[in-house]
Amino acid sequence: MGLAGVAGALQGFAVGVGEHEDLARERALSDDGDESIVPEAHGLNPMVGLRGSRGRGHLLKISAPARIVKIPWANILRPMRWVTSLGALALVMALLHRVTAGGPLEARATLALGFLLLAALVGGEVARRVRVPRILGYLLIGFGAGPAWLRLVRADELQALQFLADAGLALIALAAGAELTLAALRAGRTALLRLTTGAVAFPFVVVTLVAWSVSPWLPIATHQSWHDRLAVALVLGTLAAAASPVVTTAMMGELDARGPFARSLLGVTVAQDLAVGVLFTLVLLVSKPLVSPGAVKLGVAGVAGLELVGSLTVGIVVGYLLGQYLHLGQRRTALLLVAAALLTSEIARALHLEPGLIALAAGFYLANFSREGERVRSQLKHASVPAYLVFFTLTGAALQLGALAQLWPWVLLLIGLRIVSLRYGLLWAGRHPDVTPVLAREGWLGLISQAGWALALAQLARRAFPEWGVSLETLVVAMIGVHEVAGPICFRQALVRAGEAGEGEGTHGGEAALGGVGGAGAASGTGVGPGGVWQQP
């Protein structure tokens, strides 16, 4: 071979190696990322390089006989670090739990709070990695460490920390109230009324009728007369209609869901709780002539009404004072809001009111009758994560699910009835043209959660019916606990189906929540097309 032939061969070699398309087509080098690398040798057929295919060199792929596998030890061990951290925290807390058994309550409560928050942070990260809501991780960590299970935190310590749980509840409820605007409520009032009616009337009627029909076998009403059993069924139906604006707000904040679907569900949950407060008072009044003499304390009906009206009134006053103070130009708005939440907690305890309703009314006043509404909403976003951590961790530690061991068939029956009735209640609401199809189909998933006001009403029911109120409260608290755990998962699924979940979790696009109305407003969640429920002012 002469110099010309050698030059032609080298030229073919250069062309063959330099052709990226040929390399990609022949898959000369196989790389599966971090999992494996398959080395392959590439040769040149000099005859083809000299004479074939218009002077272009062709590659001969020689597969490697062996496969080199890189084991991603870091990826394997990373999940174990979180489990190890939780185990180490539990061991340390178990040791300190035994050592400090005779210490002052304040010191033990402070130690318990620090342990719970550290463990909840780890649990929230684990929950995020397995693609479930963080607040569910907080709840489960609190429940696991609380008196109901591992008993790393004592009941008296939780009681001492209750004011912090109430403050966290108030801060979240303040954010919920600040999301409600009169302009939006007026724009979607027909759909909101229709959705609230379906979400309250259907569970109330279905649960009441079924509970009354099976009441001869219901453990808490077996030995009661049929009049008393009807009162039990009415109370169960009333509490089945309650919802949780706090969980709704927390999920909206965690998933950064500010679209019309999420805002509509928030409005429905607030309306549900207000309607259930009125309905509970009416049920107690109706039960008086039905039940046996002395079976109901009618004064509790007045207490329930006063608690509802008093909480809303005090909340408006708190909102007015807070707005006036913010108008003075205070810069540390977030710190002031935290102080207001602590103050709300103490006011509620002193006056025997509901801190969530007080803060809800205060937030609503600030959003609609104060110039500081937007400023408050912005600052509450920064303070929301610590509030979620404190409230849901302490709430999880206080969960009482022991009744499930004896009453689980009845709990599952009542929960199933509530879920099915919510489903068909919103489908009924969707028959109105002002209710978007996505709300009618998926909205029931966002109304599963219960907390706060439902627990307060369960305590009032115990006081109203002294003979069987304790058993009734035990059953209702077990139901609320299950709803509180399952609700965040269902709400997240509702947001995903509606296309409003953050972090790229949507499946149908933002316009699904608008009933098929597209445009920039639909994509950003800042407006609702014709027939929508929520419209931004």
Three-class SS state of 237: helix
The answer to whether 333 touches 326, Cβ cutoff 8 Å, is: yes
For residue 66, the 8-state DSSP code is S
Q: What angle do CA 219, 220, 221 make, to 5 degrees?
A: 95
**Burial code of 234-243, b = ≥16 C-beta within 10 A, e = fewer?**
bbbbbbbbbb
Question: What CA–CA distance (Å, rounded) separates 346 from 362?
Answer: 15
For residues 50-58, give the mean pLDDT.
Answer: 43
Question: What CA–CA distance (Å, rounded) separates 274 from 272?
Answer: 5
Q: How far apart are the first and last CA of the chain?
A: 84
Three-class SS state of 500: coil
Question: What CA–CA distance (Å, rounded) separates 319 from 359?
Answer: 8
Per CATH, the architecture of 166-524 is what?
Up-down Bundle (1.20)
The answer to whether 223 touches 468, Cβ cutoff 8 Å, is: no
Q: What is the DSSP string of 113-147?
A: HHHHHHHHHHHHHHHHHTTS-HHHHHHHHHHHHST
pLDDT bucket at 401, cuts 50 / 70 / 90: confident
pLDDT of residue 318: 94
The answer to whether 181 touches 267, Cβ cutoff 8 Å, is: no
Question: What CA–CA distance (Å, rounded) separates 527 from 514?
Answer: 9
Question: What CA–CA distance (Å, rounded) separates 262 from 492?
Answer: 10
- Cα-based distances in Å from 118 to 162, 332, 508, 521, 535: 18, 26, 37, 40, 40
Whose tokens are 């403050």? That residue is 167
Which amino acid, 315? Answer: G
Judged against a pLDDT cut of 70, whether residue 17 lies above it is answered with no
Q: What angle do CA 274, 275, 277 make, to 5 degrees?
A: 65
Residue ranges covered by each domain of the chain: 3-69, 81-160, 166-524
pLDDT tens sequence across 184-210: 899 999 999 999 999 999 999 999 999
Global pTM reads 0.78
Judged against a pLDDT cut of 70, whether residue 10 lies above it is answered with no
Of 38-42, 361-365, 518-522, the range with the lowest mean pLDDT is 518-522
Question: What CA–CA distance (Å, rounded) separates 140 from 251?
Answer: 16
pLDDT tens sequence across 259-318: 999 999 999 999 999 999 999 999 999 998 888 888 889 899 999 999 999 999 999 999
For the chain, the helix, strand and coil percentages under 3-state DSSP, each to the nearest 5: 70, 5, 25
For residue 215, give the nearest of 198, 199, 200, 237 by alpha carbon: 237
**What is the maximum alpha-carbon separation in the chain?**
120
pLDDT tens sequence across 423-476: 999 999 999 999 999 999 999 999 999 988 899 999 999 999 988 889 999 999
